[in-house]
A and B are shown apart, each in its own frame.
Chain A
Amino acid sequence: MEARIRARVNLALTFFALLFFVAGSSPPRQFVISNAERRIDLSSHIINVHLTLKVENAGTRPASEVVLALTPTEVDHLAMVDASAIKGKRKKTTSLRLEVKPTELPDAPPIDTKYFTIYLANPLNSGESTTLEVLYVFTHFLEPFPAEIAQSESQLVFYHDTALILSPYHIKQQTTFIKTPSTKVESFIRMEPTNRVGTEIKYGPYEDRPPYSISPIHVHFENNSPFAVVEELVQEIEISHWGNIQVTEHYKLIHAGARHKGVFSRVDYQSRQSSNGASSFRYVRIVYLLARLPPRVHSVYYRGEIGNISSSHLRTDSLKSELQIEPRYPLFGGWKATFVIGYGLPLQDFLFESSDDKRYLNFTFGCPLIGMVVDKLTIKVVLPEGSTDPSPVVPFPVEHHLEAKYSSLDVVGRTVVVLEKKNFVPMHNSHFQVYYSFKPIFMLAESLMLASAFFMLFVACVAYIHIDLSVRK
């Protein structure tokens, strides 16, 4: 509740501040948005906002930097922003990814609005126009209300936004579509023209809105999808040049939806499930999770802090492996579960040699569990003992540092490249590389150590037998 009030206050403050500053300030506004269409998808707890902007250069000089504006609450929950330019007409469209960077606008109104700049591939000449597609992904943005529900109640959530798109530019025409997961909408704020058909609420079209105009709205609707959030995921990728990559993933899973209140009744839970099966009613809980693992995965295990969890199934084919796991108990709102998934992978699928005699690991940066928000993702790449100058290459900004780890038979320790990313969503999934140099001679070190140890042991045995006899005589 408190968070909601705060969000509203923020919005209101922003609103007033904006109104106040609109007249005075002059952001780089050679652009005018002739048409904006926004589609907000609220079907899960990961909110996708697709924004299509038709941008026109109304200034005199060519310009290539288009600025997007977001409220501070939005920025707090923003997992990613992605922009692309659309070329061509109708069916023959091609999209070109553009660079987006957070920026500060010096002459912008001194309020909390945060900005992102899209750098166009080619400067837009005066009078020309182009179409941009922007994708925002927000997490933890839906707020359960009521915040606590009983076992068989459905989950209602609030979504806050403005009916008008916040922008530093003048918008000639704009429309917003909000898609809810079901037709059950408790309430929503109207701003004419507004109309609701099925699972979609349409705001607009609104004509000729000045820059920084907003109009707060909220939608209160039913969302019975469990809010599966991984609070922390530590993924450890251990490379062995003997032919194996061992991946260990430590999960801290939570159901971040409306908190479970009162009784958990096994009778109700079992009887509803068995009699109705997969029909209309569904408890808002996490039962199954699906992990998509690389093909040719082997020795998969799934265990908790206190031992093996036997409820998992692995399906493998030549393209992918799917691991279906079930936590020890169904997760109702607010319930947590920690577990570990581990598996081995063949080395040749992921480790390659680069042209400059270095080796590199090419692996997916992401969470194998499908549809998960990961609040904090840590990837630790454990390089073999004796490897030097590691350098990670990741397609988006991450924090990284080095550590040392002692695994079996290690003397000097292994170099660990630690990559950290906050607020990770499945859309981030992409490949990353870690380059390092390694001399194959180090591969033999451990086996030589073992061999010499056994040799010593046998020598000692032989010596013991002989000494034993000579003493006795």
Chain B
Amino acid sequence: MSNSSTSDLLKPFKLKTKQQELLISILCLVYILAFITRLFSVLRYESMIHEFDPYFNYRTTLYLTQHGFYDFWNWFDYESWYPLGRIVGGTLYPGLMVTAALIYRLLHFLRFAVHIREVCVLTAPFFASNTTLVAYFFGKEIWDSGAGLVAAILIAVCPGYISRSVAGSYDNEGVAIFALLFTFYLFVKAVNKGSLAWGLASAFGYFYMVSAWGGYIFIINLIPLYVLVLLITGRYSMRLYVAYNCMYILGMLLAMQIRFVGFQHVQSGEHMAAMGVFFLMQVFYFLDWVKHMLSDTKLFQEFLSITVTCAVAAGGIALGVGVASGYISPWTGRFYSLLDPTYAKDHIPIIASVSEHQPTAWSSFMFDFHILLFLFPAGLYFCFKRLSDATIFIVMYGLTSMYFAGVMVRLILVATPAVCLISAIAVSATVKNLTVLLRSKNKVAQIGSTKGTSSAKASSKASLDQSQPFQKNGAMALLFGAFYLLSRYATHCTWVTSEAYSSPSIVLAARGAHGNRVIFDDYREAYFWLRQNTPPDAKVMSWWDYGYQITAMGNRTVIVDNNTWNNTHIATVGRAMSSYEDEAYEIIRSLDVDYVLVVFGGVTGYSSDDINKFLWMVRIGGGVFPVIKEPDYLVNGEYRVDKGAAPKMLNCLMYKLSYYRFGEMMTEYGKPPGYDRARGVEIGNKDIKLEHLEEAFTTSNWIVRIYKVKPPNNRW
């Protein structure tokens, strides 16, 4: 009896269950694929933290796990920005560290004795996997579950996202893209459903995003923009009202709990759009109510014009007064540089000096998106064909983020989920149409044997296209073409991941003369030397790029680091590096520096060394201290280090420290001694004498050179 009843109960679900099983297993595979495709670097090198910023995140996470949350929150770091220090708890987005620490705690609670480093290394791949799930649900929400699946697969391997989420790339973006997409998904869901619960969920998603990355600015501007567009296109609804108000108010209050963000939601110009739209929303609601009450349309039209004018005027005046009284801060330079690609170059050299802040080249779009670049417009076409609240959102997200991706290379990352989703719509819709075509033909051949998927819509489509000749063959060809393209995409993604995005940049690998792999581990050699063989309170001066690494791996105090919050301090270091030795010594003494560290690639041919970055030091230094003039270091506008170089160049501190005793060194057969392999020239000043500094350590491939600052001479 009971047996038969359960089978009766299950019967109608059987087909559904099969589909669901397929769906779940595909999602599981995508989940795993997204994780393992990011493990190239662990297999090639080791489980280690990559690049620069992740070292800071790692160090803070370590601090968080060792000292607990309150100490972390109130942490004043004496080891960076000497002598200023840095209020770490108040100047970071803690989301990433707290997430990693929670995962770490959870694993330990489950009795898995893992090291915090492993957790940090694998955080980004783990969240990338989660992003694929979110992409599935998002795709399902805006189109259908097929599009969701394709989106999940596309985003799992998309190089634009992998570049920031390989194992070891322990950076804010790793969790932030997940949070970004999740917030968007929840908001769209809330708009579609009009339920407070989803609105609340999206507020929490937003809170997580705010806690994780400064890119939350994008959300807090995109969503109001989206709402505005809906309002203008006459798509205002109660659902939108509930979703936006709930998300904005709660999200704002929650975001204020992050110290680094604080009251910016009500005080900074970048967040004012959201507030304006919030008030506009109330005006709309009010008007709606009045319209409901008033039966006379003419009267309402008049009332409408008066109210809108008043509201806009009041908003404008409030904004004007706020800005004038200084209560609302104007837009920051970073925000301007996002809107205007040329802004940073003229006004903020420190932003322009970072390679990932450059405007994007077409090749990198191609590199990071591959076929998605062509599928994106196709997807937009499909979206416009089936406009709904959700597709409008994804279209807006896609278009705005593509613009930002064009402004800055690193923002390709933000565009990636949108591009994947829109492309997935294109792929899914195309493939669906084609298969429907194929199946409808089959249906004619074998009547009634197929069931389920080919629905009334499919048959109508088939009847529509019945007249075209070679329809089936064409559909087959197109289908194969689509699969070919997708397989090319998969190959390309794997290749890019393994070749371009999986190198830790701390350890450099090269091919030796016999085809063997040569490893240059000079960075860690130098940092470890600092850690072990210098006094614990030693202060190290280097260009800001290496600050985070020196504090994390060398465990020594640095003058400036990658946080770049104090431009003057960085400019002081830039000035010291570009001055003559005795002038530089004054600055070094005033900063109480014990060691100076420079990175030099002349022996190995490593091109991103300090000599190649030197012009930025001059520019940033010159921006604050006009004694440093860029033309002094150039000859006819040309930057050179050989005999024809400018005399100031040949004798500045950076040149001396990089090339000290390099003139005696044979780097390549058939070349004179002192031949710089990174720049391919023989250096111009081979007889370098140091007066106030002495060589303390040089790594085995000369990549890092550390100099000790001598105490001042005795006066007697």
User: Which residues from chain A sit less than 8 Å from chain B, CB to CB?
Assistant: 262-267, 271, 304-310, 328-329, 334-338, 406-411, 465, 469, 473
- Cβ of B553 under 8 Å from chain A: yes
Taking a contact as CB atoms under 8 Å apart, the answer to whether A336 and B111 are in contact is: no
Chain B contacts with A in 7-43, Cβ cutoff 8 A: 12-13, 16-17, 20, 24
Scoring A266, A271, A406 by chain B CB atoms within 10 A of each residue's CB, the highest score goes to A266
Are A406 and B111 neighbours in the complex by a CB distance under 8 Å? Answer: yes
- A469 adjacent to B16 (CB under 8 Å): yes
Closest Cβ of chain B: how far from A430's Cβ, in Å?
32
Partner of A328 from B16, B507, B529 at Cβ < 8 Å: B529
Most chain B CB inside 10 Å of its own CB: which residue of A262, A310, A469, A473: A310
User: By CB atoms of chain B within 10 A, which of A307, A336, A408 has the most?
Assistant: A307
* Interface contact A469-B17, CB-CB below 8 Å: yes
> Which of A308, A335, A408 is in CB contact (< 8 Å) with B532?
A335
Do A267 and B664 contact each other (CB < 8 Å), given the known contacts A306-B524, A328-B521? yes
Q: Does B527 contact A (CB under 8 A)?
A: yes
Q: Is the CB of A307 within 8 A of B16?
A: no
Residues of A within 8 A of B698 (CB): 264-266
12 A-B residue pairs with Cβ-Cβ distance under 8 Å, sorted by A, are: A266-B695, A304-B524, A304-B528, A305-B528, A307-B524, A309-B521, A328-B521, A335-B529, A335-B532, A406-B113, A409-B111, A411-B111
Task: Tell me if A329 and B528 are in contact (CB < 8 A).
Answer: yes
A407 to B527, CA, bound (A): 31
| Closest residue on chain A to residue B504 by CB atoms | A307
In the bound complex, do residue A329 and residue B665 qualify as a contact, i.e. CB atoms below 8 Å apart? Answer: no
Of A264, A328, A337, A473, which one neighbours B695 at CB under 8 angstroms?
A264
**Beyond the given A328-B525, A329-B700, A469-B20, could you list 18 further A-B residue pairs with CB under 8 A, ordered by the A residue number?**
A263-B696, A264-B697, A266-B661, A266-B698, A304-B524, A305-B528, A305-B531, A306-B528, A307-B46, A307-B506, A328-B521, A329-B697, A337-B532, A408-B113, A410-B111, A469-B13, A469-B17, A473-B13
Bound form: Cα–Cα A335–B699 in Å: 15
The interface residues of chain B lying within 8 Å CB-to-CB of A408 are 111-113
User: Does B533 sit at the interface, judged by CB under 8 A?
Assistant: yes
Residues B48 and A335 in contact, CB atoms below 8 Å apart = no
Q: Contacts A266-B698, A329-B697; is A465 near B112 (CB within 8 Å)?
A: no
The answer on a CB contact under 8 Å between B533 and A335 is yes
Contacts of B529 in A (CB 8 A): 328-329, 335
- State whether the Cβ of B616 lies closer than 8 Å to any Cβ in chain A: no
Say yes or no: B16 contacts A263, CB within 8 Å: no
Q: From residue 472 to 531 of chain B, which have CB atoms closer than 8 A to chain A?
A: 506-507, 519, 521, 524-525, 527-529, 531
Interchain CA distance A469-B113 in the complex, whole Å? 38
Chain B residues near A334 (CB-CB < 8 A): 533
Docked CA distance A266–B524 (Å): 17
Q: Which residues of A contact B696 (CB under 8 A)?
A: 263-264
Alpha-carbon distance between A334 and B16 when the two chains are bound, in angstroms: 73
Contact B113 A407 (CB under 8 A): yes
> How far apart sit A264 and B111, CA to CA, in the bound complex (Å)?
47
Cβ contacts under 8 Å, A410 to chain B: 111, 113
Most buried by B among A271, A336, A408, A473: A408
- One digit per residue, 1 when the CB lies within 8 angstroms of any chain A CB and 0 when it does not, for chain B 662-690 equals 00110000000000000000000000000
Q: Which 6 A-B pairs have the closest CB atoms?
A: A266-B698, A308-B46, A336-B532, A328-B525, A306-B553, A408-B113
Complex-state Cα separation, A304 to B664, whole angstroms: 33
Q: In whole angstroms, how far apart are the Cα atoms of A338 and B529 in the complex?
A: 10
Instruction: Name which residue of chain A comes closest to B48, CB basis.
Output: A307
B533: A residues at CB distance < 8 A: 334-336
Closest CB of chain B to A412's CB: distance in Å? 11
CA distance A338 to B533 in the complex (A): 11
The dominant DSSP class at the B interface is mixed
> B114 to nearest A CB, angstroms?
8
Q: Find out whether the CB atom of B695 lies under 8 angstroms from the CB atom of A329.
A: no
Assembly CA distance A263 to B531 (angstroms): 18
Complex contacts, B184 vs chain A, CB 8 Å: none
Given contacts A264-B697, A267-B665, contact A328 B111 (CB under 8 A): no
A271 to B113 alpha-carbon distance, docked (Å):
47
| CB proximity of A324 to chain B, nearest CB, Å | 17
Query: Complex: how many Å from CA A171 to CA B603?
Result: 66
Complex contacts, A335 vs chain B, CB 8 Å: 529, 532-533
Instruction: Take A263-B694, A309-B521, A335-B533 as given contacts and tell me if A328 and B528 are in contact as well, using a CB distance cutoff of 8 Å.
Output: yes
Is B702 interfacial (CB-CB < 8 Å)?
yes
Bound: A271/B524 CA distance, A:
23
Closest B-chain residue to A269, C-beta based? Answer: B698
Note all chain B residues with C-beta closer than 8 A to A304: 524, 528
Task: Report A212 CB to chain B, min CB distance, Å.
Answer: 45
Task: State whether A265 touches B111 (Cβ < 8 A).
Answer: no
CA distance A329 to B529 in the complex (A): 7
Shortest beta-carbon distance from A82 to chain B in Å = 35
Residues on the B chain within 8 Å of A266, using CB: 661, 695, 698-700, 702
Chain A residues with Cβ below 8 Å from B519 are 310
Chain A: minimal CB distance from B672 (Å): 16
* Among B521, B553, B665, contact of A310 (Cβ-Cβ < 8 Å): B521
- Tell me, in angstroms, the Cα distance from A335 to B46 when the chains sit together: 27
> Which residue of B has the minimal Cβ distance to A334?
B533
Cα(A338)–Cα(B532), bound, Å = 8
Chain B residues closer than 8 Å to A411, beta-carbon distance:
111
Who on chain B is nearest to A309 by CB? B521
Q: With the chains together, A407 CA to B108 CA distance in Å? A: 10
Complex: chain B residue closest to A411, CB-CB: B111
* Chain B positions within 8 Å of A267 at CB level: 661, 664-665
Q: If A310-B519, A406-B113 touch, does A328 touch B17 (CB 8 Å cutoff)?
A: no
* The one of B20, B113, B528, B694 that contacts A465, using a Cβ cutoff of 8 Å: B20
A409–B112 contact, CB under 8 A? yes
Residue among B45, B699, B700 having the largest count of chain A Cβ atoms under 10 Å? B700
Return B523 CB to nearest CB of chain A, in Å: 10
User: Which residues of B are found within 8 Å of A407, using beta-carbon distances?
Assistant: 113
Contact B17 A465 (CB under 8 A): yes
Q: How far is the CB of B55 from chain A (nearest CB, A)?
A: 10
Which residues in B have their C-beta under 8 angstroms from that of A473?
A: 12-13
- Among B583-634, those with CB < 8 Å from A are none
How far is A305 from B695 in the complex, measured between Cα atoms in Å?
25
Q: In the complex, are the beta carbons of B661 and A265 less than 8 A apart?
A: yes
In whole angstroms, how far apart are the Cα atoms of A465 and B524 in the complex? Answer: 50
Least CB distance from B661 to A in Å reads 5
Closest to A409 in B: B111
Q: How far is the CA of A408 from the CA of B108 in the complex (A)?
A: 8
Please, which residues of chain A bring their CB within 8 A of the CB of B45? 308
Q: Give a binary string over B527-550; 1 marks a CB under 8 Å from any A CB, 0 the rest.
A: 111011100000000000000000
Residue of B nearest to A307 (CB): B48
Q: How near does chain B come to A104, taking the closest CB pair, in angstroms?
A: 42
Give the residue name and chain of the A residue nearest to B663 (CB): A267
A309 to B20, CA, bound (A): 48
Q: B48 — which chain A residues lie within 8 A by C-beta? A: 307-308
Contacts of A262 in B (CB 8 A): 694
A113 to chain B, nearest CB (A): 40
For A328, list chain B residues within 8 Å (CB). 521, 524-525, 528-529
Interface residues of B in 69-124 (CB under 8 A from A): 111-113
In whole Å, how far is A348's beta carbon from the nearest beta carbon of chain B?
26
Query: Which residues of chain B are near A308, meaning CB under 8 Å?
Result: 45-46, 48
- Report chain A residues within 8 Å CB of B20: 465, 469
Set of chain A residues within 8 Å of B699, measured between Cβ atoms: 266, 329
Give the complex CA separation of A329 and B112 in angstroms.
35
A309 to B521, CA, bound (A): 8
Q: Name the residue on A nearest B522 (C-beta).
A: A328
Which residues from A are CB-within-8-Å of B697? Answer: 264, 329
Provide the residues of chain B in CB contact with A263, threshold 8 Å. Answer: 694-696
Which A residues are in CB contact (< 8 Å) with B524? 304, 306-307, 328
Nearest CB of A to B137, in Å: 14
Complex CA–CA separation, A306 to B665 (angstroms): 30
How far apart sit A338 and B555, CA to CA, in the bound complex (Å)? 14
Please report the C-alpha to C-alpha distance between residue A328 and residue B701 in the assembled complex, in whole angstroms.
Answer: 12
